[in-house]
Every structure is written in C-alpha cells, then in structure tokens.
Chains A and B, each alone.
Chain A
Amino acid sequence: MILPLRLDAVRFRDIVGPLSFDLEAGDSTIVLGANGAGKSLLLRLMHGLIQPTGGAVRWSAAHAERHQAMVFQKPVMLRRSALDNVLYALELAGAPQARSQSLAALDEVGLRALAHRPARVLSGGEQQRLALARAWALHPEVLFLDEPTASLDPSATREIEAIINAFDASGTKIIMATHNLGQARRLGDEVIYLHQGRVLERAPVDRFFSQPAAPEAAAFIKGQLPWA
C-alpha cells in the first residue's frame, strides 16, 4: 500500500503552499478551487511530475509511482490504435498478458468495438474514456484526475463519471481536481478547497456544501468571485 500520502510543507515557488496534509485510502478527494488556485499544480506535485521547491511528498511505500495513474484534461493519444495505446502503457509497466488486460480495460470503458480504430480520430469523449482505460489496465492504487470533463458535453461527462465511480468501487483512491460543483458533489467524499495556493478548508462533501467554514469557499459555492 502506497497510501497514506503525506504532504510535508510542500511548496512550489510562491504559487502553491506550504501545504501539509495526509490523504488516506478510501474516500474520494476532490480538490476544488477557482482557475489559478493551484489545483493542477498540486496534482502534479503529488503525482511526481513536478518536483516541489520546498518540503516533501511522502508515500508510504517505495516505487509509489508504479501504483499511480493520471488522467489529464486533454487526453494525449499516440498515433496508433486504441488497443495499442493501452498496450503501450502496460508494456511500460512490464505487465504480463498485456493484450488480454488491454481488451478487458477497453471493455470496462465501453470501447471494445473501437479497439482497432486510430486513437486520434476518436471523439473527445471517447479519447478521454480511452485515457481512463489506459489507467484502468494499470490497476492503480491512486488515480489522479485533472479536470477530466472540462471540455466534454454532458452526455460524455456522464460516461466519464460512471467510469470514475467504477474505479472507486474497485478500491482505487480518487484524487480529482475540478471547478464543477455538481461533479464534486456527485463523485466526492471529501473536499479540499484551494485558494491562491493554500488549503483554506478541508471537509466532508455534505458539510462543505451546506456549511462552508471559509468565507472564500462560501463565496465560491455561491458562484461569487471571492474578491468581489
């Protein structure tokens, strides 16, 4: 188990932090905040794509990077078939029976019929489902999602949310950045509210939306600009 994850006074220049908190297995954590609050940067710091300029990101086991996956706002697909995109990830991970696992992952996201289509000609929603299939095949202990539905229509968004729920049901810890309040309510168990690179509030989803403690969070929920 690579969880719990401990952030120890993590900073990145003067954009984010210092941040100190623990993330446990189980609950889905939503990182909420306005544009520029530092949500994407925080996810990248935790996932190890960016090194903090201060403090430390501590996982509970070695080789933690092998047990995480990340899905980005804009899926990046290689110029090859949908199946080969999933296979590529599994081969990097050194997984045995990569082909059958890839097909199973495509099944999970409902893309089995499109397995041999070039990934880059799939629609935006299909590409994002393919990105989730790529993550699914890796059986990650932690899945980071950076605004995965920000550029999708409502029906594609519903499909993506259903897959994220399936990850949650399979025991994967979800850590998702979003500024979509409805999505935070639907998918989250707890909210970390980020404002100008600092955590202003951390609370269970119900309490965060019914009685936000921080005035900036309350304003954000009401759809007001925090400084207005």
Chain B
Amino acid sequence: MQEFPAVLLDARLWDIVVLSLEVSLAAVGLASVVGLPLGAAVAVWRFPGRRTLIVLLNALMGLPPVVVGLAVYLLLSRAGPLGSLGLLFTPPAMVLAQTVLIVPIIAALARQAVEDAWLEYEEQLRSLGARELHAALTVLWDIRFSLLTVVLAGLGRASAEVGAVMIVGGNIDGVTRVMTTAIALETSKGDLPLALGLGVVLIGVVVALNAAAFLLKDAAQRRYG
C-alpha cells in the first residue's frame, strides 16, 4: 500500500482524474447547450404553463443523483428504449446521466439571471427598436460572465456527484472509474491513501475552476462595469 503523498505520482490516479474531468466537462457542455437557451426562453417569453415550468425547474435542481442514475440505467439497459445503443457501463452513459442531472440547475439559475436583467433592459431595448430575439441575445451577451458562474455551478454538481455515475458507469477499473466512485470504493476497501489522494485532487480541481471563474468575472466587472 502506498503512502498518501506518494500516491499522487501514481499514473492510475491521474487516469481516473482525466476521465472524471472528461465526463463532467462533456456533461456541462451538453447541459449548457440545452439549459442556457431553455432558461433564457422561460425568462423572456410568456406562455401558458410558464410558472409551473419555473417551479418544476427549481424543484429539479435538487434531483437525487441516484434517481437520475436509475432512470438513465432503465433507459439504457438492454430491454430499455435506448438499449440497442449499448451505452450502459460506458463513459457516454455517465455523460448522459450527469447532463440530465445538471440541465435543471443550469436552466433554473440562468432563468433567474436572465429574468433579472430582462426586467432592467427590456423597455430600453424595445425603445431603441430591438425585436424580441435581438433584445434577448443582447441581454444574454451582456450578462455572459454571470452565466459563466451558472455553468460552473453545474460543473461543481457534476464533478462531485457519485450516485448517478456509479449506477450507469458501474465503476469499472480503467473504463468508467472516476474520482468519486474510486473514493467510495477505495474507502470501503480500506485503501485510505488512494482515497485521500483522489479527494485532494477533486477538491483542488473544484477550487481551481471556481478561482479562475471568480478572477475572470472580477476582471470583467472592472472592465465592463
């Protein structure tokens, strides 16, 4: 058994770290493509059932990862609707599960940010002759640094969750083992140095991402007001 600092030099550990980042970043990318326009649309357009959708999105922010994992598992299992794709226990399945998990987070937070800005800008932009879509795009561009924080909240949730990737990925060594599932496994096996090493890296990644986002937003605030 390796000691704690030495384990950080283990290539296996870094394979796990890289896979974790690949899965979570892919999920955040997909969830942003779906969630940001969804949040913006709910913020700007008035349609029947809008308030229900807002409540639903806010409630879904707290989706339990294991439930999402179970749902995606049923979807991808051999007898399920997407079973023929053969994705279960592969990284794409993990990406899908995390995407489902964080779309509501990104959509709900984006909805709030866009709606606040929209209330402030709408009359002025319409007075200047901007049509609805153009005005909405102007607002989105103007609050892009706030939306970056929204995306990061999604990334934090994705990289920290264990339940969904455990169920649909299966925690297969060298294939679908990510930081959180490895920590859970190594802790139960008693390999505390590896678990601790992964924990340190996981926290380091999350802190570094948030620090970068904070610095970017701070610089933007100083530059653009």
Q: A79-B224, A118-B225, A121-B225 are known contacts. Are A49 and B126 too (CB-CB below 8 A)?
A: yes
Whether, in the assembled complex, B190 has its beta carbon less than 8 Å from a beta carbon of chain A, the answer is no
B123 neighbours in A (Cβ, 8 Å): 44, 49, 72, 76
What CA separation (Å) do A92 and B129 show in the bound complex?
7
B138 neighbours in A (Cβ, 8 Å): 78, 88
Selected interface stretch from A25-33, A62-70, A172-180, A209-217 = A62-70
Whether, in the assembled complex, A162 has its beta carbon less than 8 Å from a beta carbon of chain B, the answer is no
Q: A118-B224, A120-B225 are known contacts. Are A79 and B128 too (CB-CB below 8 A)?
A: no
What CA separation (Å) do A43 and B128 show in the bound complex?
15
If over half of B's interface residues share one DSSP class (helix, strand or loop), that class is named, otherwise mixed; here it is helix
A66 neighbours in B (Cβ, 8 Å): 129
A-B contact count (CB 8 A): 45
Whether, in the assembled complex, A93 has its beta carbon less than 8 Å from a beta carbon of chain B, the answer is yes
Whether, in the assembled complex, A80 has its beta carbon less than 8 Å from a beta carbon of chain B, the answer is yes
Q: Chain A, interface size: which category?
A: 20 to 34
- From the candidates A76, A79, A119, A120, name the one contacting B124 in the complex (CB within 8 A): A76
Give B192-219 as 1s and 0s: 1 = Cβ < 8 Å from A's Cβ atoms: 0000000000000000000000000000
A88 neighbours in B (Cβ, 8 Å): 128, 138
A sample of 27 cross-chain residue pairs with beta-carbon separation below 8 angstroms, ordered by A number, consists of A44-B123, A49-B123, A49-B127, A65-B129, A66-B129, A70-B127, A72-B124, A76-B120, A76-B121, A76-B123, A76-B124, A78-B138, A79-B142, A79-B220, A79-B225, A80-B142, A80-B224, A88-B128, A89-B128, A92-B128, A92-B130, A92-B134, A93-B129, A118-B223, A118-B224, A120-B225, A134-B128
| Partner-A contacts on B (CB < 8 A) | 120-121, 123-124, 126-130, 134, 138, 142-143, 220, 223-225
| Partner-B contacts on A (CB < 8 A) | 44, 47, 49, 65-66, 69-70, 72, 76-80, 88-89, 92-93, 118-121, 134
